[in-house]
Homo-oligomer: A and B are copies of this chain.
Amino acid sequence: MAEKVTAGIVVIGNEVLSGRTADVNIPFIARRLTDVGIELREVRVVQDDEAAIAEAVLALAGKFTYVFTTGGIGPTHDDITMAAIAKAFGVRVVRDPVVEDRLRGYYGNRLVPASLRMADFPEGARVIYHDQGWAPGCMIENVAILAGSPVHMQVMFEALIPLLQQGTPLHTKTIDAWLSESRLADDLRLLQTRFETVELGSYPYKSDVGGEAKFGTAVVIRGEDGKAVEDAAAAVSAMVVELGGVLR
């Protein structure tokens, strides 16, 4: 079996903590990591504050194979991620001449001094080039530094993916049924004991169907062994029907 590859995310974002912006980067990165078999184990959202960024990045970098940061890498005074992470790793921030040239070409006469801040990286970081003209992200040690704006983040992330060690993607099946979660809880617990190599998660919901509230539950079966996942899914389906639930 392949080695477990794990990850954490640090979202740098006063705008997320104030409720002004609903983060959409976490679900994007989470799905893409799941695609390539990297297990996302923890996310932290911290303020635009040098000490808070450094603490979160170092804590997760010590625990997981990779850390991805989003936010705080633009041209303005509140973009402090590069400096905070450089300081965390005890290195300087240096201007990359190749990126500087690219930015000069991209911005042309719209370039202002602050634009060139986007060519600054922690010393020793690997620049992650992409095929757009604007600024790239970078990777220092096991920490990838990405933009906060979702369009820019996604381009940077896709450029990074081929450079990462990948794991074994999990097999996943979902059994969705009209049946309240309480009704299946006792039997599902027994099934979890029977199928030890898979993880059974249950997610209740309430839907309006023709003006009437109906209760449903999605049971998600995940595991590295495809056969075990299939067997457990069949057992969950049978259990739901036995309990009087209707598969959706």
In the assembled complex, the Cα of A38 lies from the Cα of B27 at a distance in Å of 26
Instruction: Contacts A76-B202, A185-B76, A189-B76 given; indicate if A30 touches B46 (C-beta within 8 A).
Output: no
Q: Which of B115, B186, B200 contacts A182 (CB 8 A)?
A: B115
In the assembled complex, the Cα of A29 lies from the Cα of B17 at a distance in Å of 9
A44 within 8 A of B: yes
B43 touches A17 (CB 8 A): yes
Q: Can you list 13 A-B pairs with a CB-CB distance of less than 8 A?
A: A17-B40, A18-B34, A18-B172, A19-B27, A19-B33, A22-B26, A23-B26, A41-B47, A42-B47, A48-B201, A75-B181, A107-B182, A115-B185
Which positions in A face B, CB cutoff 8 Å? 11, 14-24, 26-34, 39-48, 52, 74-78, 107, 110-115, 117, 149, 151, 172, 180-186, 188-189, 192, 199-206, 220, 222
- Given known contacts A15-B201, A18-B30, A43-B43, what 7 new A-B pairs fall within 8 Å (CB)? A16-B27, A18-B172, A22-B27, A42-B52, A74-B204, A112-B183, A114-B186
